[in-house]
Structure formats: structure tokens, C-alpha cells
Structure 1
Amino acid sequence: MLFPIVLIFSLLPSSLAVNFDYESIQLTEDEAAGWPDVRFAGQGPSPPEQECKYTPEDETWPTSEEWAKFNETLGGVLLKPLPLATPCYAGPNYDEARCRALRTQWASNTSLHANDPTSITSQWSSGYSCVPTSDPNSTCTQGGWPVYVVKASNVRHVQLGVNFARNRNIRVVIKNGGHDFNGKSIGGNSLGIWVSGLKATTYHPNYISPKYRGKAVAYGGGTQAQDLSLLSARNNFTMHIAGGPTVGMAGGYLQGGGHSRNSAQHGLAADNTLLIYAVTADGRFVTASPKENQDLFWAFRGGGGGNYGIITSVIVKAWSTPRSATGTITFSTLPDPGSNTSISTDTFWAGIREYFAFLVPITDAGGLGYDFIRHTPTSSSPDLTFSTSIWLPEKTTSEYQAFVRPLLDRLNALAIPIPAPTTKRSPSHLTPRVLGENIPSALIASRLFQRPNLDNPISISETVSAVRTFVEDGGYTYHGIATSPTLEAGGHPDNAVLPAWRTAVLHAQGYDGNRHWNGASPQLSMADEKRSHDRLMRYMQAWRDITPGSGSYTNEGDAQEPDWKDSFYGPNYGRLEKIKKRWDPWGVFWVISGVGSDGWEVRGSSGGGREGFFTQDGALCRVGWRGK
């Protein structure tokens, strides 16, 4: 028998330790026993293993009556959403005004995607199955978007979603704000679990645990960076916060490592996590901490998002806001509006070399360099623009200006006229915005450059040459984040963070900044996308060649990275794979380039599957399955 939610709440033990009230609302063993579709793993016989997750075309897909019963069990929070751009297509949902607004906001309004139950910031992984076209007679299909979505606002919703999907052999995807470059939070023919409703924060000025005493923050699984920015500003503390306002903090950010302005001082977000509550693949609510489920605690902190369970809340360290200062430097081959003079391309790159030579001092001072090199093709030569924001903790304005003076002197000696940067006090709870945050058509790749790449004249020249070829010949945009989240900075943590982070001083990203899709075409070609991706990979190879043994940040890298196991996980992969098999032997959770993901493939996708371009508009199937 399925009990009402109010009764379920009353049956829970009063001593249950949780961060937030919504975590006390849980599915009980007695309730789950009343319907095999929502039973916990082990409550009954396991469903037989299948080659593929079921799709709506399969006879075994739940009937409309079964979906209705599931919705009733959930308390009415099951959605069957159409793709966000549906109003642009002929039919009963066509809305010209709404479509015009979608086309205008699609590439710039992150909240548009964050507030939708399925949409994400980068659209190519859906197969461009339904985009805000100006041609209403073109085709909109469900493509890579989930078919049903659980709009979760408590742990019970999450548990029911996980159990129903596992027992009925349906693919599961997890979404918060949809800040997703590679399609890890979407999936065709899937049941989505939308956790943005698990949004809550509590600041603990005097948190006490067995191994930590100090400032801390508890936040829910649906909390986004903008929520924590507000909390830290109100209470005058600092913590690791992502640059994009809609980044889901407990999702890929924390689980992938999580860098911030404070990383050279305090390591990564994963290093500062004290406690995790989560729903695992068996449907149960668990605690992961230094004392409970230590292997899961280790994997959650840096082993990749969306793959070991669904986090419902965490507790992380926080710190007093330091005195700090920030300033900007910009130069370009474009004519200066005031003097109508410009610098040559060679001089531009000589300036970049001087800046790169300054990255080690910046990171050694506990600071951050946040820079872009943008390329605008012209008929005669490329127009190049460089901009950076340098942030330094524990500096007054005069101390900051004295620190950057050697860099300014070297740039001025190259005839790059750089005045003393305008410097201001910079609250540490504010963080830079990443890549303008929303790039619907972008293909992105990244690499961690190590200290030896930037600590002597020969290696600096080699690094600048690789970046120059990438930008000038490839036509790509370069984005660099100079930071150094060493083991010492992180407090010597034992977690699953890629070891290459610990000796890196530069997280470098590359993408096509001129590739913003404007909605003028009804559907973009996946063949063209694959050619673009292959080209990006060819240009990225020079970065890999000069960084042997390094890797890439899984949250801001190419999910189709060659040698992705080494690039994203390094020597941690084997241990992570054992943990994945222990906690999820059914393959409930799957994300592209996640640990164990090579045991599955998306068949029938527009991208072509394992041998082509990895889109999510297909059926998720086991590789080499021979049945049991």
C-alpha cells in the first residue's frame, strides 16, 4: 500500500540527521514494498539485465496508466515536458511572439535554460532536435531531451525516480541548472530527475565536527552559484563558488573538483567538503563522510558528476573574507580609439609571453589570473584582443600596484602602452563568469598546464607558441585561469581529484568564440559538427604534446577527449571503477566520459555513436552484451 506523504513523514525516526527538512521526507521500505516498480534494490528479485534501456518504442515501456500511477505516488510532480523551443514550430503550441523571444534570449539568458526542466546551455548534444528556428515548418522532435521529468522537492521524490527507473530499465539523467557543455544532464528516452527544487542554504559561523572547527555552509543539491554568492555577501564570508551564476554547486562542480577564485589559497571545492547526503542507485538515502561510506565519500569528491548518486545536500568549509584587490589589463592589435595606433601581431604575442611568465608569481601569491585571447578574422590579418583580470588576496591597492608593476614595465618596454590598472577592493564572494556562461553551439576542450610549462624561458616560449597556433591559425578563443590548487592549499585531502591539478598553474580552455548559433537555420548538421570537433581536436593536440602526464578538467573539457580515462581521472580511475561497480552494479547512472561509461553506448544517435560524434539522441545500450 502507498501511504500519503504526511504519514510517511511521521513514520521517520525523530533522530534522523539531515541538513534540511526536505531530506526528512523519505520513501520507507514498507511503502515501497507495496508496488514492485518503486521497491528498493534487494526488496524483491532484481529485474533481468537487458541489452538496452527501454525506449517509448518498446512494448515494455510503461503504459500511460503506469506513468499516471507513478505520478500519483510522487504526489503530482511528474512532468512530460516538450522541448523548450516547441513554440517555434507549426502546431497547437506555435507562438510567434514566444518564439521570437526565445531566439533573442537563447544564447544569452542562462536562466531561460536553468528554469526549464530539460534544457541545457550547450545544445549540440541534443542532436539539435528542437531549436528556436525561424522556419515553423521544420521539424521538432524529443531528440536528446528526457521524455518524463520528476520535479523533485524532497528526498522521497528522488528515491522514487531512481527506483522506478532502475526497476523499469529506463535511462536516468540528473539536471539542476543545466550549465552543461557536453550533454551530461540530458539523454534521449530517459526519465529526468530535476533537482533544482532541493534549494536551501545555512551558514554555520561555528561549525564543529571531529576533524574540523570553523566556518561552514550547508547547501542543498539544487543550490546554484548565485544563491551562495548572495549568502556569502550577507554574512561576510568566502567559500568556493563557481563563476557561472546558474552552475549547480553540488553537482558536476563539486563532484568534478570545483575551482574558484580561492583555489590557490584553499584548493578545490572537493577538498573542502565535510559531509555529503545522497540517494544512491539502490534508492537509499545515505551519508558519505570520513566515518561513513568512506569509499563513496572519496569518489564523490572529484570523481565526476552524475555517476555515483544524486546528492541532496552537503556541508563545506568557509572562511573569513580576506582583504583583496583586483585590476584589469587589456591590449589588442586593433587600433586604439584615442590614438589610432595599434600593435603588430608579433608584438601582441610578445606581450602574451610576458603575461605567461607572470603566472607563476600570481599563483604563488595565492592569486588568480582570469584571461581571454579573442580572435576576429579579417581579410588581411587576424584581429587579436587580450584581456585579463588579476586578483590578489591580502593586498591593499598600493601593494597590488607594486606587485603588477614588473609586468607593466615589461609590456611597456615592448611598446605595448599599459597604464597602471584601475584597482579596486574585490570581495572574495564574487567570482568571474565563465565563458559568458552560455554557449549553445560551442565545442570546448581544455588542458592543465603544469608549473614546468611556465617556469623557464624555453618552456614559456613553447607554451605561447602552442596557444598562438591554436588562436591565430585555428581561429579559436583561448580562455585561461591561472590558479594552483596544490595539496597543501587544499589541506592535504584524500579524494578522487585528478592529481594533475596539484601541480598545475594554468587551466587553459579553447573553443570557437565565433560559433554562436543565431537561430537562422532550422537544424544544424551533425556531420558539420563532427568535422568541427575533429578540427578542434587536431589543434588541441599541440597542448597535449607539451603537457605529457597532465590532464583536463572534466567539467570544462571535451567529453570526447582522447584517452579520457587518463585525462580526467589519471591514476584514480581503477579505484573509481571499483567503487562505481560496488554502488551501481545495475548501471542506473551514466554520463559520457564518466567512470565506467565505456561499458555503454548511445545507439542510433545523430552523432553516430562510439565511432562518430557523441550526441544523446538515441538508445543507451551495453557494449558487447551477450545476454545472461
Structure 2
Amino acid sequence: MLCFTLFSLLFLATTTALNFDWEREQLTGEDAARNQALRFGSASVTATSGSCKIIPRDAEWPSEDDWASFNNTLGGALLKPKPLASVCYAGEGYSAAKCDQLKGSWAGMNLHSDDSASILSQWASGNTCTPTSQPDSNCTQGGWPQYVVKATTVRHIQLAVNFARNQNIRLVIKNSGHDFNGKSIGGYSLSVWTHNLKGIAYDPSYTSPTGSYTGRAVTYAAGVQAYEGSTLMRQKNMVMIVAGGGTVGIAGGFLQGGGHSSYTSYYGLAADQVLAITAVTADGKVVEAHEGENADLFWAFRGGGGGTFGIITSVVVKAFPVTPLASSSIRFSTTPDRGSTAPPISTETFWAGMRAYWEFSVAICDAGGLGYSFIYPNSSIPGLTFAVSISVPNQTTTEHRRFVRPLLQKLNDLGIQQAMPIVGRSLTSPSSYEEGYKHEPRHLSKRVLGETTGHTMIASRFFPRTAFSNTSTLESSHLAIRHVVEDGSLTFHGMNYAPTLSVSGNPNNAVNPAFRTTVLHAQAYEPNAHWDGQAPILSHEALTQRHERLQAYMEVWRDVTVGSGSYINEGDAQDWEWKEAFFGSNYDKLATVKKKYDPEGLFWAIGGVGSDEWEIRDVDGKKREGIVTQDGRLCKVGL
């Protein structure tokens, strides 16, 4: 049995810039050395652990007493959560009333964000415990972690990292759970939950560690969510880059994968604004990363993907002057649409209208704006509806009306009746979002990436400027999108933005190079990938078929966007060409940084740098076929 001691709570003075009091509560080398299981690692150590991460059936798995002792060192921060839906199944925790309540709130992201383990896309867990009306069916832990450290101090994170690494237990990181692919969960794992690490502060005259930047800045903790950033914007009369979904943890995968917003074409991505990072690396040590210190890690953290290089505890980012957004919405449909007064149009007229929009969309990007759109099938009568919110920073209402008038005129000329829309102005997000999408199904609305769990499979592609630069490429792109929507019956979600190097301040970071040339971030959703409250749960075989079908349609988009890529946060982590799609020419350098700071591969996230060195197998070590879900054991490839 492991012997643990209750460490004293020490507030340490270090050379690392610490932004919050709870970052000063750290594990000392002296305390860590008292127990082999909690010792710090070494960046020079090569991988020596077994071929697979251990699981509860293995003799090496810590005993219940060991876990209790570990919890003692954590001050009671160790959780052993059951899946959310376990209340729907016969057993000690069964409650029909709680199950009905759960079903009613299942689609709301707050439920999953505030839970220690749950995430947005539940299919990635293996669908082993979903809400049910049949309590005698089976509920297992599946892809959900065995234990969770509810981190409220840096010391909690260090203890979790050291314990998992030294015991050869799989480690995962969950922030707010806005996860389309299962990066934040893992079967038989120990999870670090950063959601409760709070703190945010504005400095109107911040100077970066190297002195290269002086000006507005915001420091925020790992658990800060977008709505907290938006609140600070209003309070301090400034703008910072946050996610559109209010519950998104903005220091997690959002920032580390790029991070787009309403200001993407005007100020760049969230990763472009980072001035300094404090993090815990795979050796359990606290490091600061900026231009002058750990510069390679600083480069990788900003765009190289979450859950891969370390656990960020706080960041410092640039802020900007108040930048109001003028916005309006446009809708048209082939069927009667309660969200529009325009009469229904024919299918060919609908797609002519879409072509007109694609042609206009480049101008949205060039104006520093955002086009946020959906093409979705109507639920009751076969047909299609298009809805878009167009927002442009620093336009007056008069300027915005003048800006959208050519598009409206073109649509009217095509027989798509459009009146001049109401133009709204707001500080932090387009006011037309609510108006433009209030009539849509909840899983297809603006909230699909923020406030409502869709549980769908997602794939995406960046369409570069060249895809719309002339009649020929415009037509090819238009037909490719039409094919995926019509032939594939997939829901389309598009964001027209252009985070070029020039608008982003020419940053030197690991953001996917394809981001810099895009004018359309196109996404396709595979419906019914998971329980939506009504449809039956899909088997693993059916999920595999859906995934293969989705990737086949992505091939159509890849054919017209050769050399481009996909957004790691809102793409298919099992993309057939994931290295090129998510990282492009940055991959080799990112892999070098990964090996330097995490030589044992402690941080593993599907579709992340170095993820091809590990695989999910059955508990008996048998290799799996088909789509990867997280309800298995993590093993090294080839061993």
C-alpha cells in the first residue's frame, strides 16, 4: 500500500510569475520526495512505462486505501463520479424523478459544464450510460474517468500529474467540457478538472515580461468562462477575445486550438493575443512561458491544441478598445418559415441565393466581419432553410445597411424577397444572433457550439480565399457544399472570417497555417450520432458507419480545398488526414516540442500532436476496429 503524508499548505515565492493566490499553493520538492508515487518527473527521462496504462483489473492498480490516502494529500479534492445518467438505472442511486429531471435538462450545456466528468458529445464515451426509460438496462463507467481531481490550487494539479505519471495511470484534462471528440475524457483515467480555478483581472497598462508589449491586458484563470470575460468587458469598457458560447472555458482548448470569435477578422484569434502563460508540465513542475522563457512551449501552447503540452493554470492576453459590432440577419427557405416573412422559394432559387451569399461573403471578411450561418433541413416538411448573422466591427447602423444592400439587392433580383433588416449594435456579440436563430431547433442554433449539447459528430474544412476568387473556383466550392447538404442530408454550419497574419499582429505561434488563408470555416454535422432524448442510441457499428460516411463527404470538400486544413476544436479528430488538416507545416516542430516537455506521452488527446503513438484497445489489449471511443485502455502502438 502506498504511504501518503498530509502536506502542509505552502505559499511559495518562486521565479515564476504567479497571477492568483491559489497558484502559489504548490507542491514542494521536499514533500514530493517523501513518496515515490508523488515525485516530480524529469524532462530528460525517456518513456519507460508499460505498453498500456493500467486499469482496475491490473495488480498494479492502486488499492482503495491508496486512493483514500491520495485523497488525504489532496485535502478531499478527489472525486469518484458516476456517469450523470446513472440515476436512470436500477441500483443504489436510481431515482425515476431525478432521471426525468435529467432528461429535461440534458440538452443544456450548463449541466455538463458543471459536472466533474461530462462533456458535450456523449457518443465519445461509448454510449455506455445514457438517459433511459428502461432502468433494468446496463450502465457502466465506459469512457468516463475513474477518479477526478477537483483542482482549486496548482498543488492539486501537480499531485494529479505526478501520481498519474508515476503510477502509469491515464491522465485526462477537463475544463468546461465543450468537446466534440472525447479529448477531455478517458476510460480508467484520472482526470484533472480545472473548471473551479477562477480569477480574472484587467490591467490598462500591462507590460509583457520581455517588454515587447505595453497596453491593455487581461489575466484570467483556467476555469474562467466566456460569460465571465464578457462581463468584464462591459465593466471595464474594453474588448477581449472570448468564445461565443457563454459556458466555454476560454483558457482551455478554445485558446490552445486557436479560438475564433466575433472579432476574428478584425483582431485575430484568441491564441494570437496571448502574452504569457503559467502551466504545469508533464514533470509536475510549474513553468512560465512567454517570448523570453520556454519560448518553444509558449509557441506550441498558442494553437498547437489542448490537452497535449501541459495544463494551463492562467494566461495573460491582449485587450482592445471598445469595438461595437453592427449586425443584421437574413433568412430564406424552400418551405414556409416562421422565422421569416418571405414566401418559400424553389430549390434552385435557394441554391442561387446561396451562391450569391458565397460571392458576397469575402467582402464580410475584408470588412473585418463575421458571417455566422446555417443551412439546415426543416423538421416537419422536407426542405432547406438558410439563416445568417452578419456582423462587422465599428460600423454605424447606416454604414451597415449600406454594406449589406448589394447582397439584399442580388437576392431580390433572384426572386428571394428580402427587406432591409433591422441593424443592431452591441459591445460583445452580434445582437442579431438571437433574432436570427430564435426559431431554429435548439441543437442547430447559435448555441450548438456553446450552450446546447448536440451530441452530433462534426467534421470541418477551411475554404481558402482562392476557393471563391474566380467564377470557376466559386462554382466548384458552391457545388461541393450543396452536394454535402443535399446528397448527404448533413447540417451545414459556416463561419466567414479571415484571421490573416496582418490583422492578427503577425504573431509567431502554432496556429494552423490554413487559418491564415481561410474565408470560410465550413462544418458538417452528422445527425443522430447520439441520444437526443428521442432517437435510439446507435451501436458502435452504426457509429462507425456514420463516421465513415461523414469522412467520405469531407473528401468532397478536401478535393476543392487542396492544401488547406481543418479547425482542431471543431473538426473530426479522426479525420483521415488529421496531421495535415489540424497542424499543416507546424506538425514536425510541434512533435519536437511535445517530446521535449512530455517524453513519456502523459498528455494524450485524440487527434492531438503525438496521438498516433497510442491507441485505445479493449480491456484485454485487443486492437479495436472502427470509430474510436474512449471506453477502453490506452496502449502504445506496436507494443
Q: Which position in structure 1 is the counterpart of 2:437? A: none
d(CA) in 1 for partners of 2:64 and 2:619? 25
Deviations 1:68-91 (A, max 9, x none): 111101111100111111100001
Distance 1:487 1:213 in 2: 20
- Say how many residue pairs are matched: 620
SS of equivalent residue, structure 1 residue 435: helix
* 1:80–1:147 Cα contact (<8 Å) kept: yes
Question: In the aligned structure 2, how far is the partner of 1:305 from the partner of 1:549?
Answer: 23
Q: Is the 8 A contact 1:308 1:589 kept in 2?
A: yes
The aligned counterpart of 1:37 is 37
* 2:349 is the counterpart of 1:347: yes
**Following TM superposition, by how much is the alpha carbon of 1:394 offset from its aligned partner in structure 2, in angstroms?**
1.5
- Please, what is the CA RMSD of the aligned residues? 2.2
Q: Is the 8 A contact 2:7 2:73 kept in 1?
A: no
Alignment check: 8 A CA contact 2:325 2:429 kept: no
Are 2:541 and 2:626, in contact at CA under 8 Å, matched by a contact in 1?
no
1:24-46 Cα offsets, whole Å, 9 max, x none, are 00000001011111110149999
Q: Determine if contact 1:238/1:429 at 8 Å carries over to the other structure.
A: no
Which of 427, 435, 441 is the aligned partner of 2:448?
A: 435
Instruction: Name the structure 2 match of 1:204.
Output: 203
Report the 3-state secondary structure (helix = DSSP H, G, I; strand = E; otherwise coil) of the residue aligned with 1:586.
coil
Q: Where does residue 184 of structure 1 map in the other structure?
A: 183
2:463 aligns with 449
2:151 aligns to what?
152
User: What is residue 480 of structure 2 aligned with on the other side?
Assistant: 466
1:430 is displaced (CA, Å) by 6.2
Tell me by how many angstroms 1:512 deviates: 3.0
SS at match of 2:251: helix
Where in structure 2 are the equivalents of 1:311-330 lying within 5 Å? 311-330=312-331
Query: Map of 1:164-563 to 2, 5 A cutoff?
Result: 164-209=163-208, 210-335=211-336, 341-376=343-378, 382-428=382-428, 433-435=446-448, 437=450, 438-513=452-527, 517-520=531-534, 523-563=537-577
Contact 1:440–1:517 at 8 Å: present in 2 too?
no
**Are 1:368 and 1:391, in contact at CA under 8 Å, matched by a contact in 2?**
yes
1:124 aligns with 2:126: no
Conserved 8 A contact 2:143-2:188: yes
Task: Give the Cα separation in 2 of the matches to 1:410 and 1:289.
Answer: 49
Check whether the contact 2:112–2:120 (CA below 8 A) recurs between aligned residues.
yes
TM-score, structure 2 as length reference: 0.93
Superposed CA offset, 1:402-438 (max 9, x none): 0110000000000100000110112135696452533
Report if aligned partners of 1:114, 1:120 keep a CA contact under 8 Å in 2: yes
Q: Distance between the aligned counterparts of 1:422 and 1:303, measured in 2? A: 40
Work out whether residues 103 and 518 of structure 1, in 8 Å CA contact, stay in contact via their aligned partners in 2: no
Q: Give CA-to-partner distance per residue, 1:361-397, whole Å, 9 cap, x none.
A: 1110101100000113778xx4110010000112111
Distance of 1:44 and 1:453 partners within structure 2: 46
Partner amino acid, structure 2, of 1:415: G
How far residue 524 of structure 1 moved from its aligned partner, in angstroms, is: 3.0
Q: What is the Cα deviation at residue 495 of structure 1?
A: 0.7
Cα offsets for 1:332-373 (capped at 9, x unmatched): 111366989421000000000111001111110101100000
Q: Partners in 1 of 2:570 and 2:392 — Cα distance?
A: 24
SS at match of 2:10: helix
Distance 1:434-1:485 versus aligned 2 partners, 3 A rule: farther
Superposed CA deviations along residues 11-32 of structure 1, whole A, max 9, x for unmatched, are x227753111110000000010
Q: State the SS of the aligned residue for 1:8.
A: coil
Please tell me whether the aligned partners of residues 277 and 287 of structure 1 are also in contact (alpha carbons under 8 angstroms).
Answer: yes
Rounded Cα–Cα distance in structure 2 between residues aligned with 1:68 and 1:6:
18
CA distance in 1, matches of 2:212, 2:624: 45
Question: Cα 1:405–1:7, aligned 2, differ >3 Å: closer, same or farther?
Answer: closer
Cα gap change, 1:430 to 1:335, in 2 (>3 Å): closer
* 1:155 Cα deviation after fit: 0.3
> What amino acid is the match of 1:179?
H
Residue 48 of structure 1 and its aligned partner are, at CA, apart by 4.3
User: Partners in 2 of 1:43 and 1:68 — Cα distance?
Assistant: 29
* Contact residue 373 and residue 386 of structure 1 kept, 8 A: yes
333-342 or 243-252: bigger deviation: 333-342
SS in 1 for 2:448: coil
Once the two structures are superposed, what CA deviation does each residue of 1:178-229 show, in whole Å capped at 9, x if it has no partner?
Answer: 0100000000000010011111111112212211111111010111112111
Aligned amino acid, residue 410 of structure 1: K
Provide the C-alpha distance between the structure 2 equivalents of 1:357 and 1:16, rounded to a whole number of angstroms: 50
Per the TM alignment, residue 265 of structure 1 is displaced from its structure 2 partner at its CA by 1.1
Question: What fraction of aligned residue pairs are identical, expressed as a percent?
Answer: 53
Normalised TM-score (structure 1):
0.95
Kindly indicate whether the alpha-carbon contact (under 8 Å) linking 1:264 and 1:364 is maintained by their aligned counterparts in 2: yes
Deviation (angstroms), 1:522: 7.6
CA 1:520–1:366: 2 relative to 1, 3 Å: closer
Q: Does 1:613 align with 2:627?
A: yes
Deviation at 1:6, TM superposition (A): 5.0
CA distance in 2, matches of 1:288, 1:44: 19
Q: CA deviation at 1:401?
A: 0.3
- Matched residue SS, 1:141: coil
Question: Secondary structure at 1:302's aligned position in 2?
Answer: coil
* Residue 106 of structure 1: aligned partner: 106
SS in 2 for 1:61: coil
Matched residue type, 1:18: L
- The gaps in structure 1 that reach 5 residues or longer are none
Q: Return the alpha-carbon distance in structure 2 between the equivalents of residues 482 and 45 of structure 1.
A: 45
